[in-house]
């Protein structure tokens, strides 16, 4: 596995779940990977688990100062980025009638505003031909009970990719969306009870929920030159859940 040899990558939300699995896959494919997240202890544990060719930086994508510091470190150490995987995101179950301003702001500040400024502040470091990957979700194209705010945030992310593909004309920088379905991460297991997970598994043609390594494999494809003629696109890794 060498499709990312010599490339420099940043994965936000890279210390757990799909982000961590992707960091491991990118390193295995030959990349040097920066991972960022809000909790230093989790980042340090992820760096130790990955081993070589990885650097962890504590940063909150809702903080402009943290983002500036993050990209300043990358600039000083590696001078550029070839891959940006804007993966950091959150989700909560809140039905209509119980939605608060706090819930809305928390979700959109991270999933939309944080993603936007992560990408915008990374632009000066992105080389021609770089790949930007945004994490979407099956709920961005579906109606899902108790997840209207999260779903709307991921629908916004999907449109950011479409619009940015236009904005980036002439740069050869690509931007695509990777949209997982239900996936066995600690975050998902904490958020959804076993009955909901079983229902999601039964609703997918493949009859199960996904593993983070399966999404990471598609992230590696989008990060590599194998996807060189793709931009503004969305790839689902959902066992067919949102496709039928």
The answer to whether 40 and 62 are in contact (CB under 8 A) is: no
Query: pLDDT of 5-62, one tens digit each?
Result: 999 999 999 999 999 999 999 999 999 999 999 999 999 999 999 999 999 999 999 9
Nearest by Cα to 189 from 171, 209, 174:
209
Domains, the chain, in order of start with CATH, read: 8-182+213-235 (3.40.50.720)
| Top-confidence residue, 186 or 164 | 164
Query: pLDDT of 65-124, one tens digit each?
Result: 999 999 999 999 999 999 999 999 999 999 999 999 999 999 999 999 999 999 999 999
Query: pLDDT of 218-242, one tens digit each?
Result: 999 999 999 999 999 999 999 999 9
Question: Taking the model in full, what pTM does it have?
Answer: 0.96
What count of other Cβ atoms lies within 10 Å of the Cβ of residue 240?
Answer: 13
Find the catalytic residue in 34, 106, 150, 241: 150
Active-site residue flag, 150: yes
């Amino acid at each position: 596995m060498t499709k990312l040899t010599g490339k420099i990558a940043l994965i936000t939300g890279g210390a757990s779940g799909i982000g961590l699995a992707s960091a491991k896959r990118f390193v295995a494919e030959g990349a040097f990977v920066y991972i960022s997240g809000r909790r230093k202890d989790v980042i340090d544990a992820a760096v130790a688990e990955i081993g070589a060719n990885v650097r962890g930086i504590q940063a909150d994508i809702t903080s402009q100062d943290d983002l500036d510091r993050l990209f300043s470190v990358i600039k000083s150490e590696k001078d550029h980025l070839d891959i940006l995987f804007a993966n950091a995101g959150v989700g909560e179950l809140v039905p209509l009638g119980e939605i608060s301003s706090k819930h809305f702001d928390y979700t959109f500040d991270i999933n939309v505003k944080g993603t936007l400024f992560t990408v915008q502040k990374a632009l000066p470091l992105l080389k021609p031909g770089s790949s930007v990957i945004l994490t979407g979700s099956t709920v961005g194209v579906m109606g899902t009970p108790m997840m209207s705010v999260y779903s709307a945030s991921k629908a916004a992310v999907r449109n950011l990719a479409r619009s940015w593909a236009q904005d980036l004309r002439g740069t050869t920088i690509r931007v695509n969306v990777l949209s997982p379905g239900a996936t066995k991460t600690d975050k998902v297991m904490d958020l959804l009870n076993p009955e909901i997970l079983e229902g999601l598994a039964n609703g997918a043609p493949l009859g199960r929920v996904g593993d983070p390594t399966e999404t990471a494999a598609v992230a590696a494809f989008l990060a590599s030159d194998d996807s060189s003629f793709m931009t503004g696109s969305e790839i689902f890794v959902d066992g067919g859940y949102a496709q039928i």
